[in-house]
Amino acid sequence: MPELSPLDAAVLPAGIRSRFLDGINGLRVHVLEAGSESAGRPCVLLLHGFPELAYSWRKVMPALAAAGFHVVAPDQRGYGRTTGWDADYDGDLASFRLLNLVRDTLTLVAALGYRTVDVVGHDFGAAVAAGCALIRPDVFRSMVLMSAPFAGAPAWPSGSEQKTTDDIHAAMARLPRPRKHYQWYYSTRPANADMWRCPQGVHAFLRAYFHFKSADWPGNKPFRLSSWSAGELAKMPTYYIMDLDQDMATTVAPEMPSPGEIAACRWLSEDELSVYSSEYERNGFQGGLQWYRCRTQGVNADLGVFAGRTIDVPAMFVAGKSDWGIYQTPGAIERMQESACTRMRGCHLLDGAGHWVQQEQPEQVSELLVEFLREQTKHASAA
């Protein structure tokens, strides 16, 4: 396969540039960056989620650069123009485990010439950001999580293996309206082709998917769930707790916005969506789906060596008020604030945003990030 070129400057906001870094833990990593690399300028690393790209940060990067930061957003392992990863379902799954994703990030920091950075993660990128702050707080001096709360490191071993009395998946399948969890669906072999080769095409699939999980979809009115039980989980929309006999492309298709709604969507134009769809049309979705498989199939078990550890760097959480991601793991947002992160500096839920908070409300997100990151830089300078 010929080497990919940088992302066309015509699709990028002014001040954002595209380039590659080679030799990053076996990857050729594509990054978007803004702001200069001048000596002493602090660096902030932005980590995207699924099904996203470095491009997901385009609306906040200029403001961060204007505030004095060197801003870097990579296409992570399995995504976009980054290459060197295994796209085969039967291939090297372990390379997608969380510890190796942290290693990707650490190696990128070193290649950029930094010893300390601030890290921001959205969706599954929040899991990587949390892993970075948990494992290497000497490098990742502060952390911002978006949409996906950090519920804590694995529990300290009790000496006896705890077994679940009721299989949650069997219980969901037995509901009067049989259901299944999206993360376990994403771990199945057919999931990639279901989305990549769906009847409506990748562009329409992504439009419906992004709309369905945004504040534009009127059904997104999240609330706390009382427990990790089939009945409680089934209260979430079908993009999280799917109908048992449906794939994801079929699930989101009925929620496709109208032409008028698409034209009125100020946070994701058709031209912007085309950047996503062209990347996923080329790559498929398996790279991102491997991350889910590592979570659901026990490949991340080596995180157990960090059992009982807390995140002790300054931390902030940002999400949309219309984002079910806040509550999809019952109790996670409470544990994050009460015990998992010992130096929480704020938890902000923004009006007018669903799951794609940094795209739906970029001005508010930028303001929060600049204020938080400037505070970390001030403290670092005073130390």
pLDDT digits 0-9 by tens, 295-327: 999 999 999 999 999 999 999 999 999 999 999
Whether 87 is covered by a domain: the verdict is yes
Whether 163 is covered by a domain: the verdict is no
Alpha-carbon distances of 232 from 102, 123, 224, 328, 332, rounded to whole Å: 33, 22, 10, 10, 15
* CB 36, CB 47: distance < 8 Å: no
- 123 is a catalytic site residue: yes
Tell me the DSSP string of 208-258. Answer: HHHHHTSTTSTT------SSSSHHHHTTS-TTTEEETT--HHHHHGGGPPP
* 139 shares a domain with 17: yes
Q: Give the pLDDT confidence of 367-377 residue by residue, as tens digits.
A: 999 999 999 98
pLDDT for 1: 59
pLDDT for 38: 81
* 17 shares a domain with 136: yes
Tell me the DSSP string of 56-125. Answer: GGTTTHHHHHHTT-EEEEEPPTTSTT-BSS---TTS-GGGGSHHHHHHHHHHHHHHTT-S-EEEEEETHH
For residue 205, the enclosing domain spans 168-287
Single out the catalytic residue among 48, 70, 181, 355.
355
Whether 224 is covered by a domain: the verdict is yes
Report the DSSP beta bridge partners of residue 45.
Answer: 72, 119
Averaged pLDDT, 98-120: 98
In total, how many domains does the chain have?
2
* 134 shares a domain with 86: yes
> In the predicted model, is pLDDT for residue 160 greater than 70?
no
> In the predicted model, is pLDDT for residue 330 greater than 70?
yes
Answer whether 0.95 is exceeded by the pTM.
Answer: yes
Q: Give the pLDDT confidence of 252-270 residue by residue, as tens digits.
A: 999 999 999 999 999 999 9
* 254 shares a domain with 206: yes
- 122 is a catalytic site residue: no
> In the predicted model, is pLDDT for residue 98 greater than 50?
yes
Whether 292 is covered by a domain: the verdict is no
Q: Give the pLDDT confidence of 187-228 residue by residue, as tens digits.
A: 999 999 999 999 999 999 999 999 999 999 999 999 999 999
Whether 317 is covered by a domain: the verdict is yes
Single out the catalytic residue among 123, 194, 216, 323.
123
* 101 shares a domain with 17: yes
Whether 162 is covered by a domain: the verdict is no
**C-alpha torsion angle, residues 373, 374, 379, 380 (rounded to 10):** 70
* 120 shares a domain with 41: yes
3-state class (DSSP) for residue 344? strand
* 173 shares a domain with 152: no
pLDDT for 2: 73
Whether 78 is covered by a domain: the verdict is yes
pLDDT for 308: 94
* 219 shares a domain with 138: no
Out of 287, 322, 346, pick the residue that ends a domain. 287
Cα–Cα dist 286/134, whole Å: 27
pLDDT for 65: 98
Alpha-carbon distances of 11 from 55, 209, 273, rounded to whole Å: 10, 21, 11
Whether 5 is covered by a domain: the verdict is no
* 108 shares a domain with 75: yes
Out of 224, 259, 287, pick the residue that ends a domain. 287
* 353 shares a domain with 248: no
* CB 143, CB 129: distance < 8 Å: yes
> In the predicted model, is pLDDT for residue 45 greater than 90?
yes
Counting residues of the chain whose pLDDT is more than 70, the rounded percentage is 97
pLDDT for 165: 42
Give the range among 180-184, 238-242, 302-306 with minimum mean pLDDT.
302-306
pLDDT for 133: 98
* 205 shares a domain with 89: no
Out of 229, 261, 287, pick the residue that ends a domain. 287
pLDDT for 162: 52
* 337 shares a domain with 317: yes
Confidence of residue 170 (pLDDT cuts 50, 70, 90): very high
* CB 98, CB 300: distance < 8 Å: yes
Averaged pLDDT, 279-297: 98
